[in-house]
Structures are given as structure tokens and as C-alpha cells.
Amino acid sequence: MTGNGELQKDEGRLSNGQEEDPLLIHVPATGSTVIEEDFLYDSTKDSALLAQDKEENGDGDGGVILSLEPELLHIWEILCILSTAFSYGCILTTLFLITLPVECQRIESEHASIAKSVALGAFVAIAGVTQLVSPLVGKISDSFKPPPPHDIGQRLPFLVLGSVMTVFGLLGQMFASYRSFWVRYSVAFFAHMIGLNIMYAMMLAMIPDQVPSSQTGIANGILAALLVTGSLFGFGLFHGFLRENIQDMYALYTCIVIVSSIATGIYGHDRDVEIALIRTQPLLPPTTTTAKSSTRQQQNGQGTPQQQHPISRRRKFMKLARKVTKKVVATPAVILRSMLITPVQELSWYAIYQSYTIDMEKHSDFFWVTVSRLFYYCGMSVQTFFMYFLHDIILLKKDPEGAVATLSIIGQIAGACTCVPVGIASDKLFAGKRKPFVHFACFVLAATTFSAIFARTMHGMVLIMIFLGGANGIYLTMDTSLAVDTLPKEFDGESGSAQLLGIWGVAAFLGSALGPMIGGPVLYYVGRQHSDESETTTANDDTNTDSDTATDTTGYSLAGYAVVLSLASFYFLLSSSALRFIRR
């Protein structure tokens, strides 16, 4: 080893003549430490980084561990790592707009005492409660240490667990629906939603873990595109290939979850394992390299003759049987215990409370990003009333449901066209800052939503949805990028990214719930009041109005919709204003 503090490899040998593990690299310090070679993109030119790390952390007896920017990823790798977003978008959109409404209609036909709206509301409530699992599982995964000697990574074990729960939940829903066992269906739906939220939370955590900061924009553009295309894929198959068969939808969901989980596992496993090793083993003893090399030699049958002993065939067979049993039974049990039982036993009530809070001193920027997301979803929830708006204001009396579906597809296509280009542009323009794009998106969203007050034709609504969808794609891409940019820095001994992203995800649910909770009563009070006045006037002028016409005029007035749409525009402006408190 040279004395200038440079990292080097000398043909697989240490300075004292001992054999060095070919997968490890020695770091000179007052002691001895090892580093994973894959994280050193140029091991001969990192003396400056080593000196900087020494200056920040001091000269310890065991040396230091360097934390460098991950290498750039190919677009295909990013696509596969984030493929869970495709299944998430496909399932959630079609589940709540197609599958569950149809199932709730069956429930009402079989049990007259249960209204379909009440049943659907119950399923939405269950889905909302399951979102609360994301911050807690995220906190557990942040501090998860794989049991030795199993190099299984930090995020993927939980993603696989979520995938298994999702698949079993979907299969349970399919069979329970076929036999009309609705209580079992609800239990299976609960398990399905728990698993899906775990999958999505772990996938989001893999963005700051594995994607370089210089590719954050394009990665989140791909994420938004996958969410939108997954939704379009589900709608297209349901109306085209599956011929509107609900039972086949569960099979479609299951296949998509399995394929996306496999793709994420294949392309994300190696990096997840390497990151887990760095986080859980920040310092290694001076004899690590020699001891590890000696252990590998013994496992490979090398070493001195005194270390090797002849083993009979029977003993070999028994040893193999024990090994297989350990892999098939004991190993999964040990891993599951380390993932679920041990962390829960170690969690205190205060730690659970902390899982759902954000430290304003450490993560104030992330807090304001979360607040911005909350207001954004409050504004977007105005689309809940679009079907009524088409019926009452656009006067689309025939099939307003189909018109809403058409407008949704148009908006999603527009969003898919903007999210990836904006993600690429955000990495290269404004010195990598995302806020200008968010301000622009929120302004367009506010202006477009407010302009809907003056729409009177379906063509006008189509134009509004094009602008609304395009701005929506921009915001979703930049929102995720901002969240990733404001996360705590990695490789500091313990990551909190998954727990914080879990809270960030809950903000979306709260916004989607608070918007209709506020807008619904406002629309009823303002719109119904004016509607009653107009109906009274009409009745005085013409007492012979037939029942069909009376039915058509029943609804909410323009005044009610004007207040709701103005309120949604105000939410978008608040979403933009919240970002002014970000210090970065």
C-alpha cells in the first residue's frame, strides 16, 4: 500500500503478502476496512473523497466507509425497477371505477338492506385505513438488518411479502365473489390492499436508494407514465379483450402483480443487497478480509489437509438433507421473524407514533412538499363531481357515466404525453430545480379548473381535460421528484426515506377524502338552494310540467358548481404556495 492515502488493488494481494478476497478492496487508514467494489466507480482516483471523508469523520481505528453516487442506470433498468407502479395504477383505477361498483351492485341485489353506495363507501374506507400501514412498514424497512448469512436486501423482502399478500388477497376475492361470500370477500380485500400498499411504499423507497440524483427527474417521469399507462391498460382490457367480465379482472390483477414483482426483483436485487450491506455494516474489524477469505476457502474445500476430513456418503446425504430442510423451512422462518416479529417486539408506542410524524427541524422541506401534495389532491378531488356537472350544466342526460370515462381517458393520455419529457427537462433545466415546473403546473390546474365554470358543451370539457391532464402529468412527476430531493441524505447509518414516503403517500389519501368531504356539503347547500328557488319559479310559471322534465331539471345549480370549482382552484394555488417555504 502506498502512503498517499489512495485506494489500490495489488493483483489480489495485501501489502503483508496475504491473499485478498477478489470481491473486496482494502482502504488504507490507521486500521483496516473493506468496501464493496461496485460502489467505487473509479477506485484509483478516490483519494480526494477519502481525504474529505477523513476530515469529516476523523481518523478512526477502523478506517471509513465511503458513500458515493450510484452509477447511472439504463432507462430499461429504471422501467423494470419501477414496474410495480404499472400494476398499482392498473389495479387501483379500475378497481374503484369498475370492479367494486359492479360487485356492490351485486351485493345490493342479493341483500336489499345494504345499499350499493353504502357498500362502496365501506370498501373505500377499508382501502383508506390500509394506507396507514405504509409509514410503519417503511420505518421497519429503514432499520431492517437481514439475518446473517442471508444477503436478501433491505427493501425487496418487504416488496415480496407485499406481493404475496396481494396475490393471495386477489385470489380470495375472486373465489369469494364467485360464491357470493361477501364477508370473506371483504377480508380478502383488506389483505389485498395491505399488500398493495406495502409493494408501492417499497418501490418508492427504491428510487432514492438506487436511482442517482441526476436521473431523479426522468425516473419519476417514468413512474408517472407507468401509473397512467397501467390505468389505460386496465380500462382497455376490460372493455375490449375481457368483454367486461369481472371475474377475469381478478386474474388480470394477479398476473400483473406477479410479472411486475419479478421484474423489480431481477433488476433491483443486487443494488438492494449492496446498499443493505453498507447500511447495516458501516465498519468492519481489521481482520475482516483475512477471516472472510479463510472462511470462503474452507467452504470451497480449500485449506490445509488437517482442516479437511473424509465424509462418508451417508453423512454427505444427511448433511445435504439438513441443508435442504434449512433452506426450505428454517430460512424463510428466520427471515420472516427478522422482518415482522423482532421489529414489532422492539417497537415502542412512541416509536409507532413517530412513524406517522415528520421532524420539522430535520425534514422541514419534506414536510412542505407533503403539505403541497395534500392541497393538490384536495383540488383534484373535484373530479368526483364531474358526472353531476355533465348532467346538470352540460345537460348530458344520456350516459353521463360513459362521458366521464371518456374524459378520464383523454386526461390520462394527455398526462402520459407530458410526464416523461418534463422529467427529462427537470434534470437539465433550472439547475435541476423542480419548483418552477410545479408552480407552472399548479397555475395551469387552477386556471383550467376555474374555466370549467364557463363550459357549456362537451367539446369544451374535452379541451379542459386535455389541459388538466397535461398539467396533472407535470405535477405528479415533479411532486415525486421534490419528495425524493428533500429526503434525508443516505448512507448515514440509518435511512428514513421509506417511513417519510409512507407519510407522503397518506397525504394523497387525506386530500382525496377531505376534498369531497368539504366540497360535497358546499355543493349541496349552495347548489340545492338555488336549484329549489329556480324550480319554484318554474312551477309558478307552468304548473303543467310533466314528470320527465321535472326529473331532468332536478340537480344542482351553476352557483353551487362555481363555488366548488373555485374552491378547487384555490387548493391548487395553496399547493403551489406551500413550496415557497422550501429552503433548498
- What single string gives the DSSP state of each residue in 274-318? HHHHHHH-S---TTHHHHHHHHHHHHTT-S-GGG-----HHHHHH
Amino acid symbol at 474 = I
Report yes or no: 574 and 511 within 8 Å, Cβ to Cβ: no
Q: Which phi and psi (to 5°) does residue 275 adopt?
A: -65, -40
Report yes or no: 293 and 20 within 8 Å, Cβ to Cβ: yes
pLDDT, position 60: 44
Q: Which phi and psi (to 5°) does residue 28 adopt?
A: -70, 135
Measured between its terminal Cα atoms, the distance across the chain in Å is 41
Report which DSSP code applies to 542.
Answer: -
Distance, in Å, from the CA atom of 173 to the CA atom of 171, rounded to the nearest integer, reads: 5
**pLDDT tens per residue, range 511-540:** 887 888 788 888 888 877 655 555 554 444
Hunting for cell 447509518 — which residue is that?
Answer: 493
Distance, in Å, from the CA atom of 81 to the CA atom of 264, rounded to the nearest integer, reads: 4
The x, y and z cell numbers of residue 535, run together, are: 324550480
pLDDT, position 363: 80
Task: Tell me which residue of 259, 254, 262 sits closest to 166, measured CA to CA.
Answer: 254
Q: How far is CA 200 from the centre of its chain?
A: 4
Per-domain boundaries in the chain? 1-68, 74-281
SS3 32: strand
pLDDT, position 489: 66
Distance, in Å, from the CA atom of 95 to the CA atom of 92, rounded to the nearest integer, reads: 5
* Backbone φ/ψ region at 188: left (φ over 0), alpha (ψ -120 to 50), beta: alpha
Report yes or no: 473 and 356 within 8 Å, Cβ to Cβ: no
Sign of the alpha-carbon torsion through 226, 228, 229, 231: positive
The x, y and z cell numbers of residue 363, run together, are: 425534514
pLDDT, position 313: 60
Burial 384-417 (b: 16+ CB within 10 A, else e): ebbbbbbbbbbebeeebeebbbebbbbbbbbbbb
The x, y and z cell numbers of residue 430, run together, are: 433550472
The H-assigned helical ranges of 180-236 are 182-210, 216-236
Task: Tell me which residue of 232, 236, 254 sits closest to 168, measured CA to CA.
Answer: 254
Task: Tell me which residue of 368, 379, 384 sits closest to 486, measured CA to CA.
Answer: 368
pLDDT, position 1: 43
What CATH number belongs to 74-281?
Answer: 1.20.1250.20
pLDDT, position 108: 83
Radius of gyration, CA atoms only, the chain: 29
Report which DSSP code applies to 93.
Answer: H
Question: HSE on the CB side for 115, CA within 13 Å?
Answer: 3
What DSSP element (H or E) covers 27?
strand 24-28
pLDDT, position 14: 44
Per-residue model confidence as pLDDT tens for the chain (584 residues): 444 444 444 444 444 444 444 434 344 443 443 434 344 334 344 444 444 544 544 444 444 444 445 677 888 888 888 999 999 989 988 888 778 888 888 888 888 888 777 788 788 888 888 888 888 888 888 777 777 766 777 788 889 999 999 999 999 999 999 888 999 999 999 999 999 999 998 888 888 888 887 787 888 888 888 988 888 888 888 877 777 678 888 999 999 999 999 998 888 877 777 777 776 665 444 444 444 444 444 444 444 444 444 456 656 656 655 665 555 455 667 677 767 777 777 777 877 787 788 877 788 888 899 999 999 989 888 877 787 788 888 887 777 767 877 888 888 888 888 888 888 887 777 666 788 888 999 999 999 999 999 988 889 999 999 999 999 889 888 888 888 888 876 544 444 777 888 888 888 888 887 888 788 888 888 877 655 555 554 444 444 444 444 444 457 788 888 998 999 999 999 999 998 888 76
What torsion, rounded to 10 degrees, do the Cα atoms 564, 569, 573, 574 define?
Answer: 20
The Cβ of residue 571 has, within 10 Å, a number of other Cβ atoms equal to 27
Give the residues across from 10 on adjacent strands.
13
| DSSP string covering 434-495 | -HHHHHHHHHHHHHHHHHGGG--SHHHHHHHHHHHHHHHHHHHHHHHHHHHHTSPPSSSSS-
* Backbone φ/ψ region at 395: left (φ over 0), alpha (ψ -120 to 50), beta: left
Distance, in Å, from the CA atom of 503 to the CA atom of 174, rounded to the nearest integer, reads: 31
**pLDDT tens per residue, range 187-227:** 999 999 999 999 998 888 888 888 887 787 888 888 888 98
Hunting for cell 395534500 — which residue is that?
Answer: 374
The Cβ of residue 247 has, within 10 Å, a number of other Cβ atoms equal to 12
SS3 9: coil
pLDDT, position 493: 43
Question: HSE on the CB side for 405, CA within 13 Å?
Answer: 16
Amino acid symbol at 584 = R
The x, y and z cell numbers of residue 101, run together, are: 361498483
The x, y and z cell numbers of residue 160, run together, are: 415480496
- Cβ-based burial of 196 (10 A; exposed 0-12, middle 13-18, buried ≥19): buried
SS3 73: coil
pLDDT, position 61: 43
